[in-house]
Chains A and B, each alone.
Chain A
Amino acid sequence: MTDLMLRIAGEEVYLLAERALWWPNASTLVVADLHWGKASTFRAVGIPIPIGTTSDDLARLDSALTRTGARRMVVLGDLFHAKAGRVASHTLAELRRWRSLAAPVEILLVRGNHDRHSGDPPSDLRINCVNAPAFVPPFVFRHEPADRGDGYGLAGHVHPGITLMGRGLQRETLPCFVIGPLGALIPAFGSFTGLGLVEPGPGDRAFVVVEGEVLEVSLPVDLGPNAYPAELHEVSHAESRGSGLDHGVEH
């Protein structure tokens, strides 16, 4: 794993290849959009999705927690995908096992749109829940990005992804961090989540996560003739469109 250190809002942070942000001064690991139980929600309605996504996500979470030794973890919303009651016992059992074995970390969930529908996690998972925004100066933790001038915002929700052009007409879309002057976007942590293409603005820096490495992308990226403008995320619902754009995302 190759991580990347940078300084935002006067604080030293690390962008981790696990798709998490590490804030050593507060011993806090920041993740977004885990969408726990998404695969089992699909299976429950008769859409066959193989198992393995949850285990993989938990292993990756363990890796980030172990490597950093974080005492606290902040989830920027969308911890559970759908109504807790519908999350299958199979998945819940796995989560309980993980919670009992994993590092004794304090978990704070800043509720997102999915959490409002699915309700708070069962108490034995020992997860504190608050509504956005949560202030931990100099940062403001929220689910949906917003610029309220109330601090440096860290947000999820958009599952940021960026399309890079390769040789010939090859293109690949990768999850990314977007670090702006006033706030940052954290990639979605869950492996069964799509990507929403973002178009970093002036002053933004973008870092893609690829094969265990975090790499800065030189901006502006030429998104090519078929790219989505960022402001249309609200309309890009799940099943996506045409060639090269198969990265539907659901927020």
Chain B
Amino acid sequence: MTDAEDVSHKPKRRGSALAVDLRRARAAQRRAERAAGAAAALPSRAEPSPTIVCDDRDPIDCVREWFASEGWEPFEFQEEVWRAYLAGESGLIHAATGTGKTYAAWIGPVLEWMQDYPAAQRSSRAARSLGHAPPLRVLWVTPLRALAADTEAALRAPIQDLGLPWTVESRTGDTAPRVRARQSRRLPTALITTPESLSLLLTWADTPSLFENLDLVVVDEWHELMSSKRGVQTELALARLRRWRPNLRTWGLSATLGNLETARDTLLGMTAQGFERAGRIIRGLVPKALTVDSLIPETMERFPWSGQIGLRLLPEVIAAIEEGRTSLVFTNTRATAELWFQALLSARPDWAGVIALHHGSLDRDTREWVEDGIRDGRLRCVVCTSTLDLGVDFTPVDRVLQVGSPKAVGRLIQRAGRSGHQPGAVSRLTCVPTNALELVDVAAARDALGRSAIESRPPVERPLDLLAQHAVTVAVGGGFRPAELRDEVRTTRAYRDLSDGEWNWVMDFITRGGSALGAYPEYNKVVERDGLYVARDRMVAMRHRMSIGTIVSEAAMKVRFVRGRTIGTVEENFIARLRSGDVFTFAGRTLKFVRVRDMTAWVRSSNETTSVVPHWTGARLALSPELAAAVRGKLDQARQGVFEGPEMEAVRPILELQARWSTVPAADELLIERVQTREGHHLFFYPIEGRLVHEGLAALFAYRLAQLGPITFTLAANDYGFELLSPEGVRLEEALEDGLVSPDHLLHDIPASLNAAELARRQFREIARVAGLIFQGYPGNNKSVKQVQASSGLLYDVFARYDPENLLLFQAHREVLEKQLERSRLGRTLERLAAGRITIKAVERPTPLAFALLVDRAREQVSSERFLDRVRRLVAPLERAAGNGNARIARGGGRGFR
């Protein structure tokens, strides 16, 4: 493991961040070409002449000259990767986005080819025009189709300037059928593709011959892929490629993670003997100086609740945007992004046209327009979600704001890193809290950042649904012998421990449905012919190609103008609640709903004002373990009277009140508050471990408490703790002695405590899609597949009843435990709590920490009362008890952020 630490302290380059300007220029050029091409009937693609004449010089000198011609000098870590590549090594390069990782991975094979083919043989233009560009040598896997075009331009630039006869093309879901057909006869020298398109390539029988000269696979944004089933899909494809090309080199590009070695091992896979393959970990540029600060409201309520501050900081946010040239305002949800965009626009109507909105539900053209607008500095501000976390470099961005807690250190770094690409600039991120306690998160994140405590991403282990899909993929692509495929699959890290029983079950599943005894009549997908397992017929092959992949499409409905274009997609759930004539905000516009037809919501523009915003049921973010630990540290300091920095200073009155009424928990202390109100007996626990863990703990504790005697609980959880509310009092001390917080018997208690069956039924949605139980349909042809569509819930019920031993059901349960309930993290939390001390405080009324939980529970309840009124009703008596009589504590100092 070589980390190139020493080099990056003295960046030598002259120009702006490495790949950035270049990509921008090339992308613009490409777009111009495309526009010109569309205009001309026969676009004659002007072949740019090489700008670097290499002749017989050492290729590395030519490459350095090319870097110089762009105004750069290669970074030491880039040259290190080139040397490692030329020495036949594989590995992982980690650094923030936009720091030259692309050329670190790309130049190696270029140098190698130039060494192998001296200048005389490199007749570029003629060779290329005759279709004699070298066959596929480099495969570049990217998680986002949107990144493919930019990557293509970046890879092509040095090729063209050095006059190499290479071709660089993309193949994704967006690629024209004509191009795809040409590619299936001959692939370009370098191919940029997605995991799904790569799997699709494996379904063509002549693919092995197309991959005969493959030397290198680069997997971009590996940190993003590796903890999902798409990552496993990539692992399986890599295992297949390595079988065809045993000396294949693999390089991953990743953000910095807490588990880099696992990331590398997962990418490189295992040897046939079951050992991890050797590989390098090379660190790219150390992050530039990174500043994190916050906007702090002038007045602070002492009883924090989520959403409390709302849009109150809008003037400060506007001031911050005015300060910068181009700003990104990140939000944690799409709905928040819509709200903030609307708010900005109504406060600054003069910004119409120079501020924009970007999130995953918007139409792709719109998103591309916004991305271009950021690149060429046309836009002053973009309100966005995680869709702009990845990829695309935006040089003009000099200000990043984050609405709400960043929830994870890695996310904070990634988002902050979107700014400060100008020479000499620093990356700066300004947090805009939505409630007072989020200021603690920010202070904690700054601490964690100082310690480089960055989150790990756990890879997915042994998903059998995906293995079934892959086996059919290989069957379609020419067939397999079971023992061989099993051994090949075991060379991936995900399936290194695949048992023979599991493998045999997968084989049964794709050939007979059930086991040998319970075979499903009329069913087979894969059949044996002379020992080779192949697809039953062309129909099976065709259907399979249409359903490759692991992404569960949200039940989204297109939103389209009655006369005009598509605006984007909104969850059907939301549309279903609209009546004709209802007005809502989407894509930054006010729209009037007309009707639903052909799976499309038809709308018109509207001038009415509304606050109705679609919600999307994405997973709500929870505090990461690293950030949660840092928050506990911050609270521990506060307990000792240490309030460092403006954020902690701002929440000081809240925490002091908390200390007065109860206590601020120490880092090794589990605080339990018990309080009786008209609602009943409340128990508040504060493990400070993130919402997901708290939901699991709440259910677990409720279950364990109920073992002492019949009792009913209402549960609520947030990032700081959870509440158990019951009509009767609880024998807490007795329960604690009986092991309420014990990590023992978890495997039994967790499923018993939750409606595990219902959770598994929901989890089955993804599994059913991946395992091929749900046919997604042919593009543009909804009707013909209707007769073979069933909801995943119905499928789950049928399997649970008629084939209860089906391993996909077990997988659903396992995924619920591991993914949704974070069982391992739950176990670690219990170990931590059991090792620490427990403090029980009987309090007279809910404390500031408890209040946030009370509000969250109120939010879940159905009531005709306005939510804000209910919160006011809750807070009034508490404020009276806290003294001052005044609902707010005025803060000194001028307005604006500090």
**Chain A residues close to B by CB (< 8 Å):** 39-53, 81-82, 88, 90, 114, 117, 167-170, 191-194, 222, 224-226, 228-229, 232, 234-243, 245-250
Contact = CB atoms under 8 A, between A and B. Distances in A.
A241 B765 CA distance: 9
17 contacts: A41-B787, A44-B523, A45-B539, A46-B536, A48-B514, A49-B798, A52-B802, A81-B787, A170-B755, A229-B576, A229-B577, A241-B573, A242-B554, A245-B573, A246-B794, A248-B794, A250-B786
B140 interface: no
B513 interface: yes
Interface of B: 509, 513-514, 518, 520-525, 536, 539-540, 543-544, 554-555, 557, 571-573, 576-577, 596, 599, 617, 712, 714-715, 755, 758, 761-762, 765, 772-775, 782, 786-795, 798-799, 801-803, 806, 860, 862
Nearest to B598: A235
A202 B223 CA distance: 55
A189 to B, nearest CB: 15
B522 A43 contact: yes
Given A52-B802, A243-B617, A246-B762, A46 B772 contact: yes
Nearest to B796: A246
Contacts of A49: 513, 520, 523, 795, 798
Contacts of A228: 576
A237 B789 contact: yes
A242 B543 contact: no
Contact of A50 (B518, B786, B862): B518
Contacts of B761: 246
A182 to B, nearest CB: 24
B571 A241 contact: yes
Contacts of B803: 50
Given A39-B798, A168-B714, A239-B774, 16 more contacts: A44-B522, A44-B523, A47-B775, A50-B803, A52-B802, A168-B715, A193-B794, A222-B862, A226-B573, A232-B596, A238-B790, A238-B791, A240-B555, A241-B573, A247-B791, A248-B790
Nearest to B510: A48
B789 A239 contact: yes
Given A246-B791, A248-B793, A46 B525 contact: yes
A241 B544 CA distance: 23
B802 A51 contact: yes
Nearest to B508: A48
B791 A194 contact: yes
B790 A242 contact: no
A45 B518 contact: no
Contacts of A236: 572, 576
Contacts of A169: 860
Given A45-B543, A48-B523, A239-B555, A53 B790 contact: no
Nearest to A114: B787
B712 A43 contact: no
Contacts of A193: 794
A229 to B, nearest CB: 6
Contacts of B596: 232, 234-235
B787 A82 contact: yes
B520 A43 contact: yes
A242 B617 contact: yes
Give the interface centre of B539, B577, B712, B860 by most chain A CB atoms within 10 Å: B577
Contact of A88 (B521, B524, B806): B521
A48 B789 CA distance: 12
Given A47-B775, A224-B862, A243-B617, A192 B571 contact: no
Contacts of A249: 791
B798 A242 contact: no
Contacts of B524: 46
Nearest to A171: B758
A39 B773 CA distance: 12
B276 to A, nearest CB: 35
A240 B769 CA distance: 12
Contacts of A248: 789-791, 793-794
B521 A243 contact: no
B794 A42 contact: no
A184 B792 CA distance: 29
Given A192-B798, A243-B762, A246-B793, A47 B773 contact: yes
B799 A242 contact: no
A222 B540 CA distance: 44
A250 B790 contact: yes
Given A42-B788, A242-B571, A167 B520 contact: no
A250 B554 CA distance: 18
Contacts of B792: 239-240, 246
A245 to B, nearest CB: 7
A193 B793 CA distance: 11
A242 B619 CA distance: 11
Contact of B798 (A53, A222, A225, A246): A53
B247 to A, nearest CB: 37
**Top 8 closest A-B pairs, CB basis?**
A246-B793, A248-B791, A241-B555, A238-B789, A43-B523, A50-B802, A50-B803, A52-B802
Nearest to A42: B788
A250 B789 contact: yes
Contacts of A81: 787
A236 B712 CA distance: 36
A43 B773 contact: no
Nearest to B764: A246
A232 B802 contact: no
Contact of A232 (B576, B782, B790, B795): B576
B576 A42 contact: no
Given A43-B523, A46-B525, A192 B794 contact: yes
A48 B513 contact: yes
A224 B892 CA distance: 44
Give the interface centre of A42, A47, A167, A236 by most chain B CB atoms within 10 Å: A47
B657 to A, nearest CB: 31
Given A45-B543, A222-B862, A235-B572, A50 B791 contact: no
A202 to B, nearest CB: 18
Contacts of A243: 617, 762
Contacts of B518: 50-51
Contacts of B573: 226, 241-242, 245
B789 A225 contact: no
A52 B576 CA distance: 34
Given A229-B577, A235-B596, A43 B793 contact: no
Nearest to A87: B522
Given A41-B787, A47-B773, A250-B790, A237 B798 contact: no
A247 B793 CA distance: 6
B513 A43 contact: yes
Contacts of B714: 168
Contacts of A117: 787
B801 A237 contact: no
Contacts of B772: 46-47
Give the interface centre of B571, B782, B794 by most chain A CB atoms within 10 Å: B794
A48 B773 contact: yes
A149 B866 CA distance: 43
A163 B879 CA distance: 40
A48 B509 contact: yes
Contacts of B794: 192-194, 246-248
B793 A237 contact: no
Nearest to A165: B862
A46 B576 CA distance: 32
Given A237-B782, A239-B555, A192 B513 contact: no
Nearest to B714: A168
Contacts of B774: 47, 239
A52 B800 CA distance: 12
A79 B197 CA distance: 41
A47 B525 CA distance: 8
A43 B521 contact: yes
B765 to A, nearest CB: 7
Nearest to B521: A90
Contacts of A239: 555, 774, 789-792
Nearest to B798: A192
